[in-house]
């Protein structure tokens, strides 16, 4: 997962085709309208760290709508959320103000395996070991 410090983040739509999706957006409607076609980066916003709707959106974008581009978390992104964000389908995150990027990177070294499947490896641990 790419970690971006808020000071290094640009909110403009410069060289990449970026789409910001609100938490209450209907993804089925967006996909049916063709709004996801040609998009390189989808930004999903966390207005508060306790608002988890963007996790579901990321999971749906990866699994149901087969979005292969960058799904970026913005807003109130804390380091203890990053591993779950990555497992839900996020590929980059813009950290909240005051969060240390080096500390955020260390989160990924803390966990070597997971029992449950995720968007990267859908099989649970017992099925991976049996294979």
pLDDT digits (tens, 9 = 90+) for 68-77: 999 999 999 9
In this prediction, residue 12 has a pLDDT band, given cuts at 50, 70 and 90, of low
| Domains with residue ranges and CATH for the chain | 2-130 (3.20.20.70)
In this prediction, residue 7 has a pLDDT band, given cuts at 50, 70 and 90, of confident
In this prediction, residue 96 has a pLDDT band, given cuts at 50, 70 and 90, of confident
Cβ-based neighbours of 113, under 8 Å, separated by 6 or more:
125
Residue 87: what pLDDT? Answer: 94
What pTM value is reported for the model? 0.88
Concatenating the DSSP letter of every residue in 47-100 gives SSTT--HHHHHHHHHHHTS---SEEEEEES--GGGHHHHHHHT--EEEPPTT--
Percent of the chain with pLDDT over 90: 65
């Amino acid at each position: 997962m790419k970690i971006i410090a808020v000071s290094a983040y640009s909110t403009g739509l410069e060289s990449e085709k970026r789409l910001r999706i609100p938490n209450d957006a209907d993804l089925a409607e967006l996909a049916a309208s063709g709004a996801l076609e040609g998009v390189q980066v989808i930004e999903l916003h966390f207005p508060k760290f306790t608002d988890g709707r963007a996790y579901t959106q990321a999971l749906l974008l990866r699994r149901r709508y087969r979005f292969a581009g960058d799904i970026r978390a913005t807003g109130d992104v804390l380091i203890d959320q990053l591993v779950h964000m990555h497992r839900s389908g996020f590929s980059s995150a813009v950290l909240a103000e005051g969060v240390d990027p080096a500390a955020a990177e260390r989160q990924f070294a803390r966990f070597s395996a997971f029992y449950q499947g995720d968007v990267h490896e859908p099989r649970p641990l017992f099925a991976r070991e049996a294979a």
